[in-house]
Amino acid sequence: MRALMRMAALLAAGGLCVLILGRLTMPDAPLTERRAAALSVQAWPMTLSDENLVDAIAALSFHHRLARVSWDHSMLGADILLRGGGDAAGGLADDLVALISFSFEDTANVRQVLIRVYRPAGGRKELLFYGDPRREDWNVSRKAAFKAAAENGDWRGLMEACGLKGTPAGERWLQHVAKS
């Protein structure tokens, strides 16, 4: 009988310890929730690096294919390869807006974006446009002109606002787009 009493006392003491230890984490629960919330919030603007370049670019949605993306210190390079189809022009405007807005509004350390726009031509790529917009040139009025030109389909204004120059093939493409 004594052994049974000892066993009951030991079980009661063990149960009491479990309850007390369970209560010790209760005051820490609000702190844990705040820590989890702080870790899940991403700081904007983000700092682009070799480690997060792929994830950052993959989070953007493009109509055309990004043939190449590179990161060299504070310069982001992007080669856009046009896909065939009826809405190539509208898709390109959206892609340029997404790329430049991401570079200068969503990141803190992109100082320059090297953009080249190609179209497939008989098994090779034909350069249409190229340019290197810079953060220091990206002011409120230029940003407004850029977005207005993209919305209105003003290709000349769009190219000028984002600092792209056209090759002879690009000029022919622009004339074709203007007729459409």
Helix (H) or strand (E) holding 39: helix 29-40
Q: What is the per-residue pLDDT for 69?
A: 94
Q: What is the per-residue pLDDT for 84?
A: 73
- Please state, in angstroms and rounded to a whole number, the distance separating the CA atoms of residues 98 and 10: 67
Question: Radius of gyration over alpha carbons of the chain, in Å?
Answer: 29
Q: What is the per-residue pLDDT for 174?
A: 83
Exposed, middle or buried: residue 35 (CB in 10 Å: 0-12, 13-18, 19+)?
A: exposed
pTM for the model stands at: 0.71
Exposed, middle or buried: residue 80 (CB in 10 Å: 0-12, 13-18, 19+)?
A: buried
CB-based contacts of 71: which residues, under 8 Å, 6+ apart?
48, 49, 50, 53, 77
Q: What is the pLDDT along the chain (180 residues), one digit of tens a residue?
A: 888 888 888 888 888 877 777 777 665 666 566 655 555 555 568 888 888 999 999 999 999 999 999 999 899 999 999 987 545 777 888 898 889 989 988 899 999 999 999 988 888 899 999 999 999 888 888 888 888 887 887 888 888 888 899 999 988 888 887 665
Bridge partners, residue 130, by sequence: 116, 165
Q: Tell me the three state secondary structure of residue 158.
A: helix
Q: What is the per-residue pLDDT for 34?
A: 62
